Structure 1
Amino acid sequence: MPLRILTVPCRTDNYAFVLHDDVTRRTALIDAPEVEPVMEVLSGHGWHLSDLLITHHHGDHVEGVEEFHRIYGCRVIGARADQHRLPPLDIAVDISDVEAVCGEEVHVIDVPGHTVGHIAYYMPGAQALFSGDSLMAMGCGRLFEGTPAQMWDSLKRLRALPPETMVYSGHEYTAANMRFALSLEPDNPALISRAQEIGDARAAGQPTVPSTLSLEIATNPFLRSDDPDLAAALDMSGAAPVDVFAKVRSLKDNF
C-alpha cells in the first residue's frame, strides 16, 4: 500500500499530518501543534509514533513535541541551523539532507521567509511536500523574520517541484487567502472556479489542505509574482517579480 497521509485539524486553524507505512509499520508526524487530536488518530489506528519532523520553531507547530517524545520515544527531526530555539532534536538536518522516514526518502528544502530557519520536507516517492508556513494554499506565510527576496526565492524553489506534488501546508487559511486573491483579480476565471470549490469544501466541513502544486501555480498570487497579468492588475507591469511579490505581501498584511 502507498504511504498513508492523514490531515489532522489542531488548535483553531492548524494542521498536523500523520504518515503511516504499512510495510515498515513506522508512523511519522509533521509538526505538533497540539497533543490530543493527534493522539486520537494514533490510538484509533493502533499506531506507534516513530518520527516527528518540525518545519519551524513557532509555538503553534512545536507545542506537543516534547510530550510526544516522552510518550513514544520518537526521533525528533529539525533544522540544525535553528536547533537553538527548537525542542531537543535527535536528528539535526542540514539543507539538502535526505533522511529515511516511513520507508520514504525525505529531502530537506531551505525555505526562509516566514522565519529564517524554516525548512520544508519533500517526499518524491509519495509526491508530497510538507511546507509548514512557507507555501500555503492560496497564500504564503507572513514575513516575521525574512525578507521578500528570501521568501520569493523559497517559493520559486518549491514551485520547481513536479506539478503533481501534493502540498500539505500548516493552516486552514485558504478561504481568507482566496478572498484576498479575488480582490486583486476579481475577473480571473481560474480564481472564480477555485473559490467555488473552496466554498463548497468548507461548507461541507472538509479541509482545503492538501492542494496540488499545479493548482497553486495557476491560482496562488504569491507564486504568480512573475506573471504579467498579476503585475498588470497591480499597475506594476515590467516590475521585477520580487517587487511584485513584496507588494502582494504588503497588501495581504493589511487586507
Structure 2
Amino acid sequence: MQVEILDALTDNFMYLIVDVATNTAAAVDPADAEVAVAAAARLGATITHVLTTHHHYDHAGGNNQMKKLCPSVEVVGGRGENVQGATREVADKECLQLGDAVTITAIHTPAHTAGHTSYLASAPSSSSAVFTGDALFVGGCGRFFEGGPEDMCETMRRLSALPREALVYAGHEYTVKNLQFALEVEPGNSAAQQKIQWAEARRASSEPTVPSTVGDELRFNPFMRVAVPEVRAYCGAADDDVTCMRRLRNKKDNFAGSSRPWVPGGGPLPGL
C-alpha cells in the first residue's frame, strides 16, 4: 500500500491510497478532482473509489467532477451524510476492498458532522493508515458543527482504540496552531514541545506535517487526553470526559494562536 499526499485549496489535504500490485487507487476527499486524477496518472494508477469523510464542500466538492473524469468510480460516504455524488453509503465497521491487498474499514466519527466517517486502510506488510478528515487533526480536532462533546468523546474512543502505530492522515494543515493550544493546556508536555519544533521546521520548508500516528496523538493531543488530570485542571477541574471535552473545545474556539515560533521553556508567545 502506498499513500500519496496532495494539496488542495488553501490548507486542505487530499490523498491517494494505492494498491501497488494492481495499480488501483482510492482518492480521499478529492476537492480538486483534476489534481487527484493527474497524480494518479503520474503514478500509473486508476482511481476506482472516492472516499468522502463528510459533506462539506472543501472535502466533497470535487466528487461530481471525479465522476466525470472517472466514469466508473464508486463514490463512498458515511450513512446519512448525503455527500455530493455518493453512489454508496457505508455504516460503521463496514469494509470495502481496494485492489487485491488493501482493505478499507469505515469508522463513524461524528461531532464535526453527524455522519462524518474516517477510513482505516490496511494491507499486508504495510502500516495501517487512518484518514480522519475533520474529526482528528494533528494535535487537535474539528469544531462541533452537527454534534456535541458526547459525540467527540465517542469519536476519540474509537480512534484511540486503533493500533498505536497506525498512521494518521488528517484533512487540514492546522498542526502548528493546534500544538500551540496543546501547550497552553499542558505547558510541560515534552511530546508536544518536541512536536511543535518539528512542525515549525517542516512548515518553514513548505513540507506537510502529516502523517502523525495514533500513539503520538495520545501523547500530545488534548482532545484525546480529556481523562488526563492536567487537561481536566485546565478545563476548570472538570470531573468527567464530556464536560472536559465541551470546555476544551470552547477554549480552542476562542484561541488566537501566534504567528511567532514557540520558544522552548516559554510556551507559545501571545498575539498574532
TM norm structure 2: 0.88
Matched, 1:77 2:104: no
Equivalenced residue count is 250
Cα separation, 2, equivalents of 1:181 and 1:221: 6
CA contact (8 A) 1:81 1:94 kept: no
Which residue of structure 1 lines up, in the alignment, with residue 266 of structure 2? none
Cα separation, 2, equivalents of 1:57 and 1:186: 35
Cα separation, 2, equivalents of 1:40 and 1:203: 27
Matched, 1:100 2:97: yes
Letter aligned with residue 254 of structure 2: N
Q: Percent identity?
A: 34
Q: 1:88-167 residue pairs with structure 2 within 5 A?
A: 88-102=85-99, 103-125=101-123, 126-167=127-168
Deviation at 1:47, TM superposition (A): 2.4
Cα separation, 2, equivalents of 1:86 and 1:230: 35
Task: Give 5+ residue unaligned stretches, structure 2.
Answer: 256-272
Cα separation, 2, equivalents of 1:161 and 1:5: 18
Deviation at 1:43, TM superposition (A): 2.8
Letter aligned with residue 242 of structure 1: V
Q: 1:54-73 residue pairs with structure 2 within 5 A?
A: 54-73=52-71
RMSD between aligned alpha carbons?
1.4
Worse-superposed segment, 54-63 or 119-128: 119-128
Deviation at 1:188, TM superposition (A): 2.3
Cα separation, 2, equivalents of 1:203 and 1:108: 34
Cα separation, 1, equivalents of 2:105 and 2:40: 25
Worse-superposed segment, 116-125 or 214-223: 116-125
TM norm structure 1: 0.93
CA contact (8 A) 1:113 1:147 kept: yes
Which residue of structure 1 lines up, in the alignment, with residue 244 of structure 2? 244
CA contact (8 A) 1:53 1:76 kept: yes
CA contact (8 A) 1:111 1:119 kept: yes
Q: Secondary structure at the match of 1:57?
A: coil
Letter aligned with residue 115 of structure 1: T
Task: Give 5+ residue unaligned stretches, structure 1.
Answer: none
